[in-house]
Every structure is written in C-alpha cells, then in structure tokens.
Structure 1
C-alpha cells in the first residue's frame, strides 16, 4: 500500500490507534507552508481562515499536519471522501488504472472503466429508477451538474422559471448561485440567472409560519401549492423545482418524508420537473444509498457529485429517458471523461455496498446525535441537534434570547470559538447555516464507534472552554 500515514514518534494516537491523543492544546500559529499560501493565494481562499492547518499525511479519518499534530476529520473534503483518506483499495484501483495505459480523460469517448462505472451507478440506484435511467456526464464539479439539470429542465418543458428554497446551496456558477439562498455569496454579484423564486423550506427551529414540526411542513406545502395554483401569484409555471433532501450548507436540515412526498405529488400534478440535488447527501451519507429513498419517491432528475467519484472530480445527472431531449453536443465539457474518477467511483460504490457502509452511516449518525443531545442538556447554547445518517449538525444560539419572530438568536461568534477550540483539541468540524451558527459533522462513512465517542468528548470540551 502506498502513501500510508507514518506517524512521527512524538505523535500519539490512543491505544486502539483510532483517535488522536492530545495532552496539550495544539499550536495553530501559521507555519511557513501556511504563510506561503497566504502570500501567494487569492483572498478568496476560505477553509484555511478557520482551519489553519497544512496537511502532510492522511489515513482513514486521520490527518497529520506539517507540525506533526494529528486530527480526526469530520469534514472529509466537504463529503467528497466517503471512504476517508488513502483507502488501500482505492489507491490500488487508481494505480491499476494508470498502469493500463489509458488516458487520464477521454471527453465522452467510452472505455471499459467508463462502462464499469455506469453499470456500478445503475446497480446502486433504486431498481425502479435505474430501469429507465439515462446518465449524463458533466464537468468535474457539482455546480456543472446543476447547470446541466437547469438546461435540461428548461429544454424539456420549454419554460424558464425555476423554484428553489430558503437555505438552499447549489453551487457558485451563474445558474447554481442564482438557485442558492445564501445572500452573502450573492450580495456583490450582478447578472445572475433570472426568473428564480424561493419557497420556504421546512425548518422547525426557524419556521416561516411560526409552527415548526409537521404543521410547519404542511403549511410550506400549502404555500407552494397555492402559489402554483394562483393566476395572480406573479410566478409563471416553473420548468423545475430543485431541492436538497437534506440541506447541507444551509445548516444540516433534513426535509421530512411527508414534505418530499407532497412535493412529488404537486410537481407531478402541475407537470413540473422535480430535481433532487444529492451532491452532498447522496451515496450512503444519509444512511440510505440516496436520501430521497426514505420518502419512497423518485425525482425526475438526480444530481450527484462529491462522493460519486470516490474522492476524484466527477459530476453526473441521472433522469428518466423520456426527458433525454438533447441534441448531440448541446451540452459538453472537456473534463467529463475523468478515467481515474470512474475507476475510483466504481470501486467506492462496490466497497460501500460490500462493507454495508450505509448501515454504518445510519448507526454512527444515531450514536453521534444521541451523544450531542446529551451535551445539549448540559449546556445552554445548543438550540437543536439534527441530521440523518452521517450528516449531523448543532445550532449554536445565545441562551434565552429570541428575535422579533420568536426565533432563537444565532451566536456565530461562539460557534467560531467552539470550532477553533475543537481544532486545538484534534477535531476538524465545519460551520454553516444561518449566520454561520451551525456546527456541521460530515465524517467519512468508515468512522468507528470509538471515533464518534472522541468527536463528542472533544466537542463537549470545546463548548465548555468557551462558556462565560
């Protein structure tokens, strides 16, 4: 096996070699590698500002930085590394692919690796959906696939309007950003895709209708249905409604199964395409192969990226063949034929199924949320623990304070302090949600029970040290 993490003698893991052993706070002052990055790289860089580490070596869910400090990673490349780092079988399949002498990328010319990948994806899909599915390879990023889905929906329906949701995140390109709810990403932009309308997402803690729970979800559906049925709503019939079954960047908010079922009913009745963006929540992350499966429904278009390439750049959309109305070459991209991504992606799907990692995601996610709820009872800063599978989040608020709408007041300053304190103790977690006040846990699907315990214990210590 190549690229195995060789831990320096002074770096210690616990006795079972699964979690860091941290006997004093880590040094997070920038070293020469970080200072060089700051000097040369654009101001647009983001992760190094809140996670000031330079990666030297990796293994599984463990990262070693250039100072020899060891971390447990609950970011996993924003979900793009479902098997963690340097998985021996993934490494070997990519080495084998390179040794075959085929190109690194082949436009959309086929190869045995591509054929194997397509068949792996079809086998991973729900059988009824796969039966009539067509696959389309897009550019390397999820945003490329979102753009393709927008174009396909408009082409098929001959309509222009798109509907998205409050809190949505779909990417940073022109069309995908137009569908994204976060205003911070849009405030300085002009000329984004027009005719996009946003509807309320079922978010119990901050319910648009002041209800929360299933009643809030019902009112969201009623509102959407009333808009689509009202000839004075000001919104023309949309080509498609795009939704994340579990919002990620928006704060780890799972859509209730009932709400997704009703959304499917409404779109079918109105002849609107339903697009599920499972770029982050798909491929085993939710505890099912795909998050939409819990609701027992199917999308018209399914968007996948991140984990589908097994850590390599890849994005695809899948849809019923009746929607395949493209002319040849009408949507292209040079790097849609990434052969290494196809090899690693096919092997990743095989390993997820063979090792039952969707079930591990379900069990470890339930374990983490249970531990987080215990911590919630011991502190006054956690308003809600939520998630599905290994997509978990906690919302940090100011104790006892509510805004004009009766919602808890977000505490982004303390959220940032907790994230920093966790990093000093060997745990990498991300922020997101309203005002950046949600701490997000997105570890590899291979994470163990012992490692989840470390996550909870470290988070608890990080919260305690930020009190007062």
Structure 2
C-alpha cells in the first residue's frame, strides 16, 4: 500500500515537537533514495544538496555502505556492545587513523562519544578542561558546535543560546574573519590580520576580561554560519597564538571532514596540527557516530570520565570504515575540490546578471551563496543588507524545481550547497541550472510585487 504523504505530514505536524526544523522547510515524505536523488511518496524526485547536513559523503544508500551494513548483519555481530572492543571498532579505528597526518596519528588517542557531533564537542571541552585545570573557553562569532549545554555555549547564534540559562563555562567570543561582512569593516586579508592581532592582544591584556583558557575551538569553514572559510594564514596564527600560551586548539570537523572541503580534513589546507579534532556526520557512513581524536599527552581522564550508552554502534563503525576507505581510495577529496571550484566559479559569474547574489564563497563542496537586497546601499566593504525572506522564497522555488538546498549564515540569508562527493558533472550542472532559475524567478517576482529583499523584523 502506497503511503499517503498528506496524511503522514499531517500526523507529524500534530505529534512532533515544535522544535522540528527541516520538516518545516521541506514538506516531503522521502520513501526511496539513491546517490543524490530522493524520491518522495508522491512520486516526485529531488536532487539533494543538503546530504543530511553534510553527513552523506557518498550520497544516499551507496553500495559501499549498504554492502558493509549487510555484511555486518549477516555475520551475526552484536549491534550494541557499549564500548567493548569488537573487530568492527578495531577496523574503523585503523581506517580513521590512516586518514590522519603522520605526526598527529603517531601520538593520537581516539575517544568514542555518543552518536551526535554535539556530544563529541562536549567531550573535547571536558578533555581540555580536565587536562589544563582551567574553565575558560575561546570561541568565535558565527560558530556553531551543537545543541547541548557546552556546545551551545561556544556557538555564536544568540537566538538558540538565549533560552538556555547558565552555561558550561565562561566563554570569550573572538572575531572570525568573514571577508564579506568583516567585523572590522576592512575585509579581505587585512581583516583577517586585524582579527588575529586583536585575539593575541586580548589574551595578553591583564584587564581584557579573559579568564585562563582551557581551549580554543573553531571551524575551518563555518557550516551553519554560512559556509565561511577561514584564511589559511589566520589559522596558522591561531595555532601559533594558542601554542605559545599553552592553550589546546580544538578543530571542529563535524561538517568539514571526510573530503568535503577538498582535503580529507579541512585543517590540512593550512598545514596546522591541532590538539583535538572533533569528528561526526560523514565518519559514520550515514549512520550515527561521533569521536574525538587528540594528542596523547591530553589523555588524563579517569575511567568513565566521559561515557554513554550508544558509543558502540557496530553498524555505524562498519559503514564508516567502508566510507573512509572509499573516499581515500577514489580520491574524492580532490574531486570535491575540482567540482566545487567549477560550481563556485559559475555561481560567482552570475552576480552581474543576478545582483541579489551578494557573495559566493566556500571550499570544495561546501558552498554558500549569500543573498542581499540589491536596492540597498552597500557598506564600507561593499556588502549589502542580507535578504532572508528572499532566500526563503528561493529555497521554496528550488524545491518546486526538484532541488533541496538549505539556508544558513547571518539572518538565514545564505543558500548552502552540500552535495555528496560523488556528484557527477551532469548533476552539478543541473543543480546550478535549477538554482539560478529559482533565484532569477524569485528576484523577478520581488521586483514586480511585494518587496522580499529586506530583513524580517
């Protein structure tokens, strides 16, 4: 019997919490999926440029993943074993360590966390606080690290933090280099240099209000923050500044990892070696899995210091190991760099034709298209006001055309593209055709009718 999508959506609206998110933006009922294509219960097909918020490195139901899952099920392996040693865990650890830089790998430890990236962030914060005996944390504007207490405290979005009283630690918010909307009003490389100088001077100022820091946590490319890439030089400065002050550096690779940005781990672009790497999403091959990998000299935990029931998902480890090896063997990080560069170049070329496109940025297949009000005056850096209502209209127009894209960034005005690393050249062209057509149509409607460009109040 074919399910009635309208009935399913109605029941979920009635029963699910008001906190649901993606279901509001995409009123579809997926019943089948393969690669980049999702089929709804109504028979419509969509190209998925959300990929489980970056989880599906190989797309939906890739044969490498499904074969690993079937093989594990057929073997009779236990599916739940807390944190006991299993052949699947050992194999996953081998596959994971093989992706790490030699200098880091040779002295690394791994901790298996609860199934979500936010738990891995909590583990990283707790690890460094235990090792240093300090409580303060350094985090960045625009950052996003999860929805549990500590992860939320180091995230930059005030709207999601405000309802949660208290905090896990005292957090100092530092400026993240955002060329289009530079916090210092200068933009470009100069803005990044000022951001680094500000950070260093603030940490050294005895009256700066910064408590002793247990860690600095950052994203190499901010994901929910709008696909904002950090300059490699700025990252190297953050490593120098933290190393000189014996502050552990945590790099959150939950969304950027496993080839997404054109390197297996995004931090590799800068040559920086962090103290802790937070990993989740793609490492589980589409199933829930989260770990931290860190320098062994920080391994000062007592047994049970950070535990959890679901740290031994056998299927996720099998699927994850298969995914990690496939991405490495097939050179998909390089593929992401090449395809992402072509997509970014074409989108950037549309800015003259479609001035509502204020900025195109990202790295590899982590791309952001920030929409603005083209009729408003630019600021000193040339940036115009964000246009969140127009962005929401474009997202809906994309869905009408069979394309799934999500929003992020300041005011939710950035269209985010996170296609699987297996995207074909033909699929990339179709994505860009549908996206540009949606932007053009919505822009034309906004010009002819009610003004959609401005920020909602």
Band of TM-score, shorter chain:
over 0.9
Paired residue for 1:442? Answer: 418
Paired residue for 2:451? Answer: none
User: What do residues 360-406 of structure 1 show as CA deviations (whole Å, max 9, x unaligned)?
Assistant: 11111011101111222211101110000100001000014247776
CA RMSD of aligned residues (A): 1.4
Q: Secondary structure at the match of 1:387?
A: strand
**Which of 323, 333, 344 is the matching residue for 2:308?**
333
Residue 162 of structure 1 contacts residue 240 of structure 1 at CA under 8 Å; is this kept in 2?
A: yes
Output the CA distance in 2 between the equivalents of 1:166 and 1:254.
13
Shift of 1:122: 0.5
Q: Which moved more, 1:308-317 or 1:34-43?
A: 34-43
Paired residue for 1:322? Answer: 297
**Which of 203, 206, 212 is the matching residue for 2:178?**
203
Output the CA distance in 2 between the equivalents of 1:384 and 1:412.
14
The number of equivalent residue pairs is 441
**Which of 266, 280, 284 is the matching residue for 1:305?**
280
**Which of 269, 282, 286 is the matching residue for 2:261?**
286
**Which of 204, 218, 223 is the matching residue for 1:248?**
223
Paired residue for 1:147? Answer: 122
Output the CA distance in 2 between the equivalents of 1:465 and 1:188.
37
Paired residue for 1:425? Answer: 401
Residue 252 of structure 1 contacts residue 393 of structure 1 at CA under 8 Å; is this kept in 2?
A: yes
Output the CA distance in 2 between the equivalents of 1:318 and 1:105.
22
Per the alignment, do residues 215 and 110 of structure 1 end up closer, same or farther by CA in structure 2, a change over 3 Å counting? same
Residue 136 of structure 2 contacts residue 170 of structure 2 at CA under 8 Å; is this kept in 1?
A: yes
Residue 34 of structure 2 contacts residue 62 of structure 2 at CA under 8 Å; is this kept in 1?
A: yes
**Which of 56, 61, 65 is the matching residue for 1:81?**
56
User: What do residues 238-297 of structure 1 show as CA deviations (whole Å, max 9, x unaligned)?
Assistant: 110000000000010000000000000000000100000000011110100010001011
**Which of 412, 417, 428 is the matching residue for 2:388?**
412
Is 1:236 equivalent to 2:211 in the alignment?
yes
Matches within 5 A, 1:272-283: 272-283=247-258
Q: Which segments of 5 or more consecutive residues in structure 1 lack a partner in the other structure?
A: 1-7, 9-28
**Which of 414, 417, 441 is the matching residue for 1:465?**
441
User: What do residues 72-100 of structure 1 show as CA deviations (whole Å, max 9, x unaligned)?
Assistant: 00000001111111111211111110111
Q: Secondary structure at the match of 2:235?
A: helix
Residue 5 of structure 2 contacts residue 42 of structure 2 at CA under 8 Å; is this kept in 1?
A: no
Residue 367 of structure 1 contacts residue 452 of structure 1 at CA under 8 Å; is this kept in 2?
A: no
Tell me the TM-score normalized by structure 1.
Answer: 0.92
**Which of 229, 236, 243 is the matching residue for 1:268?**
243
User: What do residues 22-61 of structure 1 show as CA deviations (whole Å, max 9, x unaligned)?
Assistant: xxxxxxx972221121111111111111111110110100
Matches within 5 A, 1:15-54: 31-54=6-29
User: What do residues 415-443 of structure 1 show as CA deviations (whole Å, max 9, x unaligned)?
Assistant: 00001001100110010000000000001
Residue 186 of structure 2 contacts residue 380 of structure 2 at CA under 8 Å; is this kept in 1?
A: no
Tell me the TM-score normalized by structure 2.
Answer: 0.95
Output the CA distance in 2 between the equivalents of 1:89 and 1:164.
37
Q: Which segments of 5 or more consecutive residues in structure 2 lack a partner in the other structure?
A: 448-457
Q: Secondary structure at the match of 1:206?
A: coil
Shift of 1:460: 1.0
Q: Secondary structure at the match of 2:47?
A: strand
Output the CA distance in 1 between the equivalents of 2:353 and 2:234.
32
Output the CA distance in 1 between the equivalents of 2:23 and 2:308.
30
Paired residue for 1:18? Answer: none
Output the CA distance in 2 between the equivalents of 1:198 and 1:191.
16
Is 1:453 equivalent to 2:429 in the alignment?
yes
Is 1:120 equivalent to 2:88 in the alignment?
no
Is 1:190 equivalent to 2:165 in the alignment?
yes
Residue 94 of structure 1 contacts residue 340 of structure 1 at CA under 8 Å; is this kept in 2?
A: yes
Output the CA distance in 1 between the equivalents of 2:342 and 2:384.
26
Paired residue for 2:452? Answer: none
Paired residue for 1:104? Answer: 79
Output the CA distance in 2 between the equivalents of 1:113 and 1:186.
37
